[in-house]
Amino acid sequence: MARIVLQIVCLLTVVLNVFAQPQTKKTGKKQSLAVIAYYAGPADRVDSFAAEKLTHIIFSFCHLKGNKLAIDNARDTVTIQRLVALKKRNPQLKVLLSLGGWGGCETCSDVFSTDKGREEFARSVKHLLDYTKTDGLDLDWEYPAIQGPPGHKFMPEDKPNFTQLVTQLRKAVGPNKEISFAAGGFTTFLEQSIEWKKVMPLLDRVNLMTYDLVHGYSTVTGHHTPIYSTPQQKESADNAVRYLDSIGIPRNKLVIGAAFYARVFENVDSVNNGLYQSGKFKHGIPFKAYPGELTPEKGFVYHWDPVAHAPWMYNAKEKLFVTYDDTTSMRLKTAYAVDQKLNGIMFWQLGDDTYSNGLLDVIYNEKLKKQSK
């Protein structure tokens, strides 16, 4: 009798342990890394890129017209139509619209501060997604609750208002449309702008802008898109991931950002080959222009930071410092995203890439290599 009771207890223990585990869909496959491109180029270039190597492409940007999401002009409408047509080549591709961008969310703080504004916006999003046959919305409000572009209003109430905005959006568009947002990859944003634990259950992912960590307003050079922090520079992709992981945000909802462009600083002293020196931002250079612009013949010398896992260049004659992602850092960044079991890797922006043998190819090839193991 005692033996029978013991067997029953053991059986119940096994059953309870099974039901205590999180119930996940068993597909027999590893989660595939999302490869997400923002696109801010013209319609006539859309078909030239390798859409088959993307999981998502985000049209950049729509803006607010009153309280409603609006496409700015007929040219942008054509671009969105071309992006949606890429599904004929890649049926799994998701096409999202994006609100805002740097300098593109001037009225966001006011519009999203009221129930009326949020509700009207959410309804307009549902209408526009249905009209354009797109798959979701990426919010790129730069930034809730902290300073963004000069002149853009911000206030502490933006933080809970953002939560209410996402709540209203999810209610309006339903469970099958994707909602994501572009988040500043720097500490001030991470700590002050978002009610992370309230927002993330409603979202498919967060696109961490782990680029422009050294930006157009910076007065000291550094890596604008490093993977890891250094003693001289805290901000990095790994720093953002570690912070969100530490407050309980699932890694499988985190997307790190990469840069398909360089930032050039001028009047930079030669100490440490220009790294972590005073300087002034001069201009950006798209990846497709690197072979003609950043050459040894023009005085640019390549350097690699083994701690940050990031390249830089210095031109001693012109006193120019260049920070960017290259094929090596892009490969390592993609490997990091897979190894850390993140949702994906995204980049700004596809129009800066070459049509072949570009940075998207590096991401795609490294993804295949890592996920085949």
Q: What is the residue extent of each domain of the chain?
A: 31-260+325-371
DSSP 195: -
Tokens for 235, please give them: 């901000």
What kind and span of H or E run contains 152?
A: none
What is the spatial distance between Cα 86 and Cα 20, in angstroms, rounded to a whole number?
A: 43
What is the spatial distance between Cα 32 and Cα 16, in angstroms, rounded to a whole number?
A: 31
What is the spatial distance between Cα 202 and Cα 198, in angstroms, rounded to a whole number?
A: 8
Exposed, middle or buried, 60 (CB in 10 Å: 0-12/13-18/19+)? buried
Contact between 284 and 261 under an 8 Å Cβ cutoff? The reply is yes
DSSP 3-state assignment of 146? coil
The per-residue pLDDT for 30 is 63
Which amino acid, one-letter code, is at 294?
Answer: L
Tokens for 325, please give them: 């992602």
Radius of gyration of the chain (CA): 23
- CATH annotation of 31-260+325-371: 3.20.20.80
pLDDT along the chain (373 residues), means of 10: 39 33 39 95 97 98 98 97 98 98 97 98 98 98 97 97 98 98 98 98 98 98 98 98 98 98 98 98 98 98 98 98 98 98 98 97 97 88
